[in-house]
Structure 1
Amino acid sequence: MTESGDIGGVRHGLVHGFEAIVVETPAATAAVSLFGGQILSFVPAGHDEVLWVSPLVAAPPTPIRGGIPVCWPYFAREGQSDDVPSHGYARTARWALTGSRTTENGDTELELAPEGLDHLDLTVHMTVRVGATLTQGLHTHNPRLAAVTMTEAFHNYFKVADVRRVHVEGLRELTYIDKFDDMRTHTQDGNWSLPEDSGRSDRVYPDAGGTYRIIDPGLRRSVEVTARGGRSAVVWNPGEASASGMADVGSHWREFVCVEAANVGPNRVDVPAGSDHSLWQTISVTQIH
């Protein structure tokens, strides 16, 4: 890997008020915040912004609402006590760019790692590859002498015209755990859409297929998420009532849907001593008519 100054199209900048690594290529532009290692923007050539970041976003140390939060080494507070930060330590850590390169096909690839997490049992670093598609890899290493159990997610916030008018393919007939229904299990009937009765969704789909498509007629596009090493899918939108109590969402709840590549719930990961585990996702956009 080479330092970012050695390749074109990689620079430091401010995005949504956050210090970020900005990538500009003929195929796409993107930005990664150094607070949380969070991807804040991905705009493939010929398309509009793919990710949603709240216009009400707060300054650090409050976690960024939007983009792609990195939930690691646990999701929510699964298996943790109540005195730890929700969604893990990585999302509020300072991250550093450790290298960058141009791949054989002309994509720009960044390597980043968080700082100040030496007290944890696991270590982590991240790959972000920007081209016509966005590819992200989260790489966990266990340097200990015993196995460590973890959960994780790419908590993707996708920009939509109106969440009430979109649907998500790839989840049909899967069993899901409904966090808004006391963790009861149900079977997905058809494609996912925002439930009309409750107007909100917080569903974990264990052992999902790994490919999910957001069909958005308002923006006339399909956004596809393809996961590798991630057995779970999570689909979340708080709905109007819950969002009204969220200072960084409020009336903007219609503007996004979270479709997440994850290992959560029954799909927690046991990382053996001295071993590695990677979660990958690729995000692509197709125009529809």
Structure 2
Amino acid sequence: MCHAGPVTESGESSSHRSRQIRPGTVHGLDAHLIETPNARAAISVFGGQVLSFRPVGTGHDVVWVSPVLADLPTPIRGGIPVCWPYFAREGQTGDVPSHGYARTARWAITGSVVAETGEVEVSLAPEGLDHLGLRLSMTVRVGATLEQGIHTHNPGATTARLTEALHNYFRVSDVADVRVEGLAGLTYADKFDGGAIHPQHGEWTLPDSPARSDRLYPGAGGTYRIIDPGFDRVIEIQGRQARTAVVWNPGAEVAQGMADVGPHWREFVCVEIANAGPDVIQIDAGATHSMWQTISVAPVS
């Protein structure tokens, strides 16, 4: 296991590097570091996942990364993993990795733009996945908000089916003290209850007994707000072309069996945008599907 460490810079240079975009490390992982007047961010080379987003003036990072990470190529626990070209093992047969191949691929910057306002946009793509048929790329825009889109192109001659997610791990003061708005009145499939369907009564809060959550909300497709009084902040997630919401925290008992979570399960809640469960995406031959999210932070009013 490796322990998370500070952000450091390296001396690598390329055509896509600038004062605002540079190589370095975060949590001991090679990363693309991005700095703007309004925020700093980091995107891991391994997995292409956002490992840090810290708007200016905030006391805590918006995303959570495990302080005890497994050695690569074990997937990184935390940040914003890209689950693609399927969520969990939905629709798959045989021995395949959970949440697909993108989160263990190496990701390279393919383009970048620095706006006059200082906002930075980077385009990235995973390497070594051409055998999957579909083509994946990603856009990340860093400014006062974090905007992220994953784009799937179908170069084939027939329609392709896809499930996907941006598996957001959000840092919170204590998962037992936060609530998630935007899910009341929906129904969810409870993976801790064999996939049984239940109604969501009121806003999401961590259940009392057992204190854990693995809920998939089909047809949600909207805006979700994490209200965190302990950190005095509201994290808002706006999804676009994302029909599904997922809310996950393993709870104490399951976390005991997860070396990269363990006693740290209270420090995060996963509120994910996705197209999963019954919300399968079909991409026509020659077409491209994009799923976007915008993450913003504000004080509790």
Q: 1:264 aligns with which of 258, 261, 276?
A: 276
SS in 1 for 2:211: coil
Shift of 1:58: 1.2
2:114·2:120 contact (CA, 8 Å) conserved in 1? Answer: yes
Aligned twin of 2:21: 10
- Paired residue secondary structure (1:66): coil
Give the conservation status (yes or no) of the 8 Å contact 2:212–2:250.
Answer: yes
Segments of structure 2 that go 5 or more residues without pairing to the other structure are: 1-13
Cα RMSD (Å)? 1.1
Contact 2:41–2:54, Cα closer than 8 Å, also in 1: yes
**Equivalent residues in 2 for 1:56-95, closer than 5 Å:** 56-95=68-107
- The residue that corresponds to 1:184 in the other structure is 196
Q: Does the CA-based 8 Å contact 2:170-2:271 persist in structure 1? A: yes
Among 20, 43, 64, which residue is 1:32 paired with?
43
Matched to 1:234, the amino acid is V
Match of 1:163, as an amino acid?
V
1:44 counterpart = 2:55: yes
User: Structure 1 CA distance, aligned partners of 2:291 and 2:215?
Assistant: 20
Hey, what's the Cα distance between the residues in 2 that align with 1:104 and 1:171? 38
Identity of aligned residues (%): 63
Q: Can you list the C-alpha shifts for 1:237-263, whole angstroms capped at 9, x where unaligned?
A: 000000000011000000000000100
Q: How does 1:137-286 map to 2 (within 5 A)?
A: 137-286=149-298
Q: CA deviation at 1:82?
A: 4.1
1:92-149 CA distance string (max 9 Å, x none): 0011111111135431000000000010020000000000000000000000110111
Give the Cα–Cα distance (whole angstroms) in 2 for the partners of residues 213 and 83 of structure 1. 36
1:23 counterpart SS class: strand
Structure 1 residue ranges, 4+ long, deviating more than 2 angstroms after superposition? 2-5, 103-106
What per-residue deviation string (whole Å, max 9, x for no partner) do you get for residues 138-165 of structure 1? 0000001101111000000000010000
Report what 2:299 is aligned to: 287
1:210 to partner: Cα distance: 1.4
How far residue 209 of structure 1 moved from its aligned partner, in angstroms, is: 3.7
CA distance in 1, matches of 2:281, 2:115: 30
In structure 1, runs of 5+ residues without a counterpart are none
User: With structure 1 as the length reference, what TM-score do the two structures score?
Assistant: 0.97
SS of the residue corresponding to residue 180 of structure 1 reads helix
- Work out whether residues 36 and 93 of structure 1, in 8 Å CA contact, stay in contact via their aligned partners in 2: yes
Map of 2:4 onto structure 1: none
Instruction: Give the TM-score taking structure 2 as reference length.
Output: 0.93
The 8 Å contact of residues 179 and 228 in structure 2, kept in 1 or not, is answered as yes
SS in 2 for 1:192: coil
> How many residues are treated as equivalent by the alignment?
287
1:288 positional shift: 1.6
Letter in structure 1 aligned against 2:104: T
Whether the 8 Å contact between 2:37 and 2:119 is mirrored in structure 1 is no
SS in 1 for 2:150: strand
Q: Distance in 1 between matches of 2:116 and 2:45?
A: 26
User: Equivalent residue of 1:240, what SS?
Assistant: helix
SS in 2 for 1:252: helix
- For 2:147 and 2:116, the matched residues in 1 are separated by 15
